[in-house]
Amino acid sequence: MQTYDVELGAAVARAQDGDEAAFAVAYRIVQPGLLGYLRGIVGDDAEDVASDAWLEIARDLGRFKGDGAGFRGWSATIARHRALDHLRRQKVRPRSATLEQDVLELPGPHSTHDQALESLSTEYALALVRGLPRDQAEAVLLRVVVGLDGPAAARVLGKRPGAVRTAAYRGLKRLAQQLGVESVTDDDPRTLGESK
């Protein structure tokens, strides 16, 4: 991650100096995580929302200050705002209660832990994540898929880091339960303790 963020930071710095090839590099580094995050919020419209977000990122790049990790957070914030705008326009709820139900009724694709981990399809993962309460889903996606640290994820969401950490933990725990992954519960007391 360190080298990866260093690379991103360097690309962003060059792009801010006007290097469009460097901007393309930053795009390639950031876009996958951003798209994954947006899929979790707006589903199939993620690509459209992502291009809206990138237009704004490209326009405001001169305003940005920070390193590679900072750029990840900054771009995620922009993407999130675009996604929320999109949801408002569509008057579509980010997820429906029935979706969650569907997910729970899906037969586990595999009976054992290892099998489940080996072949979790994008669709199934997406369905699982979108089955989470919104705050948990966002926290999990920002931490795991976008790769933000706790404080950065909290800043994107406009919440306290402790709240975001708890939400991410609960979301992961729930996903793990649905996938039949056992050992997460062991982590519970200490992780919660840290947030105090």
Partner 1 sequence: MGERQNGGGHGRRRVHPGAGVPGHQGNDGTGGTAGTRGADGTNGTAGTRGTGGTDGLEQLLADAMRGHPGGGEGEQLAVAAFRAARDGGAHRARTRRRDDWRPREQRRLGRSLKTTLSVLVASLTIGGVAFAAIGTSGSSADDTADRARERQPHSAASEQAGTTPGTAGSAPADRPVTAQDTEAHCRAYEKVQGRGNALDSAAWQRLIEAAGGEEKVAAYCVRQLAQAQRNKQDASQDDPQGKAPDKGNAATAAPTTGAPGNSEKQPEKATGKKKQ
- Look up residue 196 and give its two tokens: 């105090």
- Which value, to the nearest 10 degrees, does the dihedral of the CA atoms of residues 3, 4, 8, 13 take? 0
Residue whose CB is less far from partner 1, 135 or 149: 149
Rounded Cα distance between 44 and 38, Å, is: 9
* Residue 111 touches partner 1, criterion: CB under 8 A: no
Nearest CB to partner 1, comparing residues 87 and 120 = 120
Measured between alpha carbons, how far is 166 from 188 in angstroms, rounded to an integer? 10
62 or 91, CB closer to partner 1? 62
Using the contact rule CB under 8 A, the part of the chain among 24-32, 84-92, 98-106 near partner 1 is: 24-32
Residue 141: Cβ within 10 Å count:
25
Smallest distance from partner 1 to CB 68, Å: 10
Burial class (CB in 10 A: 0-12, 13-18, 19+), 163: middle
Q: What is the DSSP letter of 186?
A: G
Q: Which of 6, 11, 15, 167 binds partner 1 (CB under 8 A)?
A: 15
Q: Say which amino acid occupies 191.
A: T
Binding-site size for partner 1 (CB under 8 A) equals 87
- Among the candidate windows 90-98, 99-107, 139-147, which touches partner 1 by CB under 8 A? 139-147
Binders of partner 1 in range 40-79 (CB under 8 A): 40, 46-47, 50-51, 54-55, 57-67, 69-71, 73-74, 77
